[in-house]
Amino acid sequence: AIDIKTLRAETGMVTIDPGYKNTGSCESAVTFLDGEKGILRYRGYSIEELAEKADFLEVAYLLIFGELPNKAQLAKFHSDIKEESQVDEEMKKILDGFPKSAHPMGVLSSLTSALVAFNPTSVDVSSETAMYNSIVRILAKFPVLVAWTLRKKKGLPLDYGDDSLGYVENIHKMMFKRPNQEYKKDPIAIDALDKLLILHADHEQNCSTSTVRIVGSSHAGLFASLSAGISALWGPLHGGANQAVLEMLEAIEADGGDTKKYMAKAKDKDDPFRLMGFGHRVYKNFDPRAKIIKKAADDVLGNLGIQDPILDIAKGLEKEALEDPYFVDRKLYPNVDFYSGIIYRALGIPTEMFTVMFALGRLPGWIAQWREMRLRKEPIGRPRQVYIGENLRSFVPLEKR
Ligand code: ACO
């Protein structure tokens, strides 16, 4: 007898929507995105205005708590973060266990998960105070983990931050301070980093953010939810695209810079090659972040006196795509990842670290979405399915198979 529901009509009200192309998972007041018009706002403020006028820590506060902080609120927030800026020395042993060749995203996700063991109260999600404590803790310790991950790659000694500095300046120092050399403030690099972090800070229910919310919905704790989010971000169809874009641009350059050849490959349905950094699930118009980053790439490279042939290749690809019916018809425009790697490279960040930089920027967004999910007391995330496999059958012993 058939006891499974094989007919669509028998499955009840289950919507099948692979990739959740049309399914909302929550109501959210954090980020507004209009993909047709190319609009992005955090808590009602346009990304263009925030990138120009705010700093990353203010934006983090805005995303997480819903309003821009006044001076006293910002000072208290920063001071609470500084209080937590130490990472247990034992964590260095965990980092030591990884080969130097390990991908930084795997290292970062593991270290973020391992932080739970050294901060056991971080699993407490029962009150706003407990959540606040975990939030400032991770905002303090995550940049240390990012800096350590980079320093391990470069074979530099692991260090802690400098509490006398601003949040992003401190990150820059932790990443780039050379042993036995005084750290020199580099305003151009710090401003560029600040802007990039703001532009990556949230993007509503993308793959990694949805992952953070769904893991958090089981009350798994903030750090574990973030670790899962980092893994989701790693993939080349999501945050990993920034690494993939640069590798693609380098490959085009090494191949003689023939952009037309690669445009043809991207359009060829029998060729797995895609133009990395192009296309977006929601934007069917220019990604407003890409516009800001393209200009920032010009400014930063100009200010640092760098001429990077890869920037010309990127601009060439963009120009061709904007005139090509394949890309025009499918509304494929450059996304946030298309120009970001060129700036990271100019700042001296290795290609494999690009997605880690994305994670650093996205941290406040993940936290804001996790906190919203908790405060709204959302139920555990548990999608349904329509079963299409075998009906009941009898077990066949191994020797008879
Ligand atoms: N190059 C060539 N063709 C593309 C590209 C691309 N980059 N992106 C989409 N297409 C084509 C698809 O082949 C498809 O064509 P078809 O209708 O003839 O079958 C059509 O455009 C629609 O694409 P889908 O893959 O169905 O769109 P989806 O919304 O599922 O995917 C995604 C969006 C993953 C971003 C896709 O555009 C892509 O792979 N881009 C390259 C990777 C990338 O840059 N990712 C970063 C996204 S931003 C972020 O996560 C931070």
Model ipTM value = 0.96
Give pLDDT, residue 52: 96
Contacts of 252 (CB under 8 A, 6+ apart): 258, 259, 262, 313, 317
* Helix residue spans in 255-336 (DSSP H): 259-267, 288-303, 309-323, 325-329
* Amino acid letter, residue 132: Y
Give pLDDT, residue 184: 87
Cα 67 to Cα 382: distance, rounded to the nearest angstrom: 31
Contacts of 103 (CB under 8 A, 6+ apart): 234, 352
Give pLDDT, residue 9: 66
Identify which of 231, 313, 301 has the alpha carbon closest to the alpha carbon of residue 276. Answer: 313
Residue 365 and residue 31 in contact, taking contact as beta carbons nearer than 8 Å: yes
Residue 277 and residue 309 in contact, taking contact as beta carbons nearer than 8 Å: no
* Amino acid letter, residue 205: Q
Residue 337 is a catalytic residue: yes
Residue 172 is a catalytic residue: no
Give pLDDT, residue 6: 58
Going by alpha carbons, the residue nearest to atom 47 of ligand 1 is: 238
Going by alpha carbons, the residue nearest to atom 4 of ligand 1 is: 274
Rg of the chain taking only CA atoms, in angstroms: 23
Nearest-atom number in ligand 1 for the CA of 287 is: 48
Give pLDDT, residue 286: 85
Cα 247 to Cα 259: distance, rounded to the nearest angstrom: 14
Give pLDDT, residue 98: 95
Give pLDDT, residue 8: 63
Please tell me the distance between residue 324's alpha carbon and the centre of ligand 1 in angstroms: 15
- How many CB atoms lie under 10 A from the CB of residue 400? 6
For 310, how many CA atoms within 13 A lie in the half-sphere containing its CB? 22
Q: Which residue ranges in the chain fall short of pLDDT 70? A: 1-11
Going by alpha carbons, the residue nearest to atom 36 of ligand 1 is: 279
Give pLDDT, residue 15: 85
Identify which of 219, 237, 328, 310 has the alpha carbon closest to the alpha carbon of residue 277. Answer: 237
Please tell me the distance between residue 280's alpha carbon and the centre of ligand 1 in angstroms: 6
Token pair of 29 as six digits:
């007041």
Contacts of 92 (CB under 8 A, 6+ apart): 148, 158
Cα 71 to Cα 149: distance, rounded to the nearest angstrom: 33
Nearest-atom number in ligand 1 for the CA of 21 is: 29
Nearest-atom number in ligand 1 for the CA of 19 is: 30
Token pair of 400 as six digits:
């008879």
Q: Which of 200, 203, 238, 280 is catalytic?
A: 280
Residues in contact with ligand 1 (CB, 6 Å cut-off)? 19, 206, 237-239, 241, 266, 274-281, 330, 332, 335-337
Nearest-atom number in ligand 1 for the CA of 279 is: 37
Strand runs labelled E in 26-130 = 31-34, 39-42, 45-46
Unique residue bearing structure tokens 């992005």: 40
Going by alpha carbons, the residue nearest to atom 16 of ligand 1 is: 330
Going by alpha carbons, the residue nearest to atom 11 of ligand 1 is: 330
Q: At what angle do helices 354-375 and 187-200 cross, to 10 degrees?
A: 50
Cα 51 to Cα 53: distance, rounded to the nearest angstrom: 6
| Percentage of residues in the chain having pLDDT higher than 90 | 86
How far does the chain reach from its first CA to its final CA, in angstroms?
24
Unique residue bearing structure tokens 């992003």: 168
Identify which of 157, 191, 197, 149 has the alpha carbon closest to the alpha carbon of residue 177. Answer: 157
Residue 209 CA, chain-centre distance (Å), reads: 9
Please tell me the distance between residue 334's alpha carbon and the centre of ligand 1 in angstroms: 11
| Site to substitute for ligand 1 among 317, 335, 358, most atoms within 8 A of C-beta | 335
3-state class (DSSP) for residue 132: helix
Give pLDDT, residue 285: 87
**121-168, pLDDT tens digit by residue?**
999 999 999 999 999 999 999 999 999 999 999 999 998 999 999 999
Going by alpha carbons, the residue nearest to atom 45 of ligand 1 is: 237
Token pair of 242 as six digits:
């920034």
| Site to substitute for ligand 1 among 278, 287, 335, most atoms within 8 A of C-beta | 278
